[in-house]
Structure formats: C-alpha cells, structure tokens
Homo-oligomer: A and B are copies of this chain.
Amino acid sequence: MLTLQTPLASKLSAFVALSAPDLEMLARFHRRRRTFQAGHELIHEGEKNQSAFVLAEGWACSYKLLPDGERQIVDFQIPGDFLGLRSILFRTSDHSVEAVTRIEASEVLASDILDSFAHAPRLATAVLWAASRDEAMVVEHLVNLGRRPAEIRTAHFLLELGARLRLVGVGEAAGFECPLTQYHLADVLGLSAVHVNRVLRQLREDGLVTFQKGRVDFDDIPRLTRLAGFDPEYLDQPRPFLP
C-alpha cells in the first residue's frame, strides 16, 4: 500500500480519497526531482512549451513584470503547490515563477497531466479542485489590492500566509519562519518598499504582528483577525468531498 509521502498527495487527499491507482499515477508527477538555487527563474513569461513543477521543499513566487520594470507578485507557493500549471495548458506562459529560497521541485510534463485525466478521473477532479483553490486565493488577493488600505492589506496577507502554512504543517498558530524580504511584500501587496516598512512598524507598535529577522509573530491574533476582516473559509480543507 502506498503512503501519502508527498505534500501534494496529502493536500489532494484532503479533498478526494485517492485510490492506489490514483496514487500511483500521482507518483509519476514526482519523478524528475530537481534542486534550484534561490532566485532562479523556473518559468518564463512569454516563452513557449514551459514545464510545470510540483514544489516539494522551499518557497517560490509567481509574478508578472510590467513594461516599466515594475513587478507584481501574484502568489507565493509553498510545498505541495503546483508551479506554472497554467503554463502547460497555454501555448505560452502568462507568468513567471522564481525560487524565493533554495527549492526542490519535480518537473511535471503535459503528458503526465493529460494521462492522469484520461486514466484517473478522481485524480483529475482533485487537480481541478487544487486549481480552483489556487484561484480562490488569487481572488482574495485581488480584493485585497482593490479595496483594502495598506495596513489592513498587509495584515490580511500575513494571516492568510500563516493559515496556508499551518494547513501543510509548517509553523504554529502564533507565527512562522518567513524567508520574504520587505521588497517581496511590496511586490505582492502593490505598495512601495518604503511604505511597507512604515506599515510594518505601525503593526508592530500597535502590538498586532511582528515581521522581523525572518519570522512573522502574531502578537494579538483576535484583534489582528478583526482588523483584517480575515475569514479562512476559502482555504478550508473539509473532509473529503468525494469519499
């Protein structure tokens, strides 16, 4: 019997109870494991025939660059997340992905995905669910950028990141190790690095969160959650939907 050895398998199993053949098919996603240095760009916006990856270890981020050189980070990826899944369904990738830390990731070929759809429908459903969950996070991020002021936006982002990490068993309720710089925060929050710095100071002095020295510490979770209007519903991993 196959065990749930990978973060992806355990994530998908939270949605669909996967059979032995499903897990075997899923295991094919994890051949071709590779290591990349921090800062390496795995997927290049605008280029054709890009691969996808499954992240096994470390942090990555997906982003787009604008004509004037500015960058908008779309999301950060943590172990168990796909990298560049969209880029194998489109001819050319609509975004870039780079390693934030040193990472380990397995290359997934288009044929792996397509075969799984043809021969393991439950796995296919699970992949659609994972893609939908990613989209839900992007949507929440979009609301964050469109309608929340900088301080609330930052608080919301840090709470979401903490919740996501907890779901894959990283960090504690009170905080987590965080390899991001204030420039990463600026690029994901649509702010200038200078303003991010001021907002972080404000949040720290108000006794809400401390973002410092590679760690995020939640100093007052109830007050912070209320301030941010944070509701983790859209991240929830219920009992399997398909038993």
* A interface residues (Cβ-Cβ under 8 A, vs B): 46, 64, 66-67, 70-72, 74, 85-86, 89-92, 94-95, 114, 117-119, 121, 124-125, 127-129, 131-136, 138-143, 145-148, 189-190, 229, 233-234, 236, 238, 241-242
Contact = CB atoms under 8 A, between A and B. Distances in A.
Given A72-B142, A89-B241, A145-B190, 11 more contacts: A46-B233, A70-B147, A85-B132, A90-B132, A91-B236, A127-B128, A131-B131, A138-B138, A138-B139, A145-B145, A146-B189
B89 A139 contact: no
Contacts of A143: 64, 66, 72, 74
Contacts of A129: 89
B136 A90 contact: yes
Contact of A121 (B64, B121, B236): B121
Copies in the complex: 2
Given A94-B233, A132-B85, A66 B238 contact: no
Contacts of A119: 121
Contact of A66 (B95, B145, B148): B148
A89 B132 contact: yes
A97 to B, nearest CB: 12
Given A46-B233, A127-B128, A139-B95, A72 B147 contact: yes
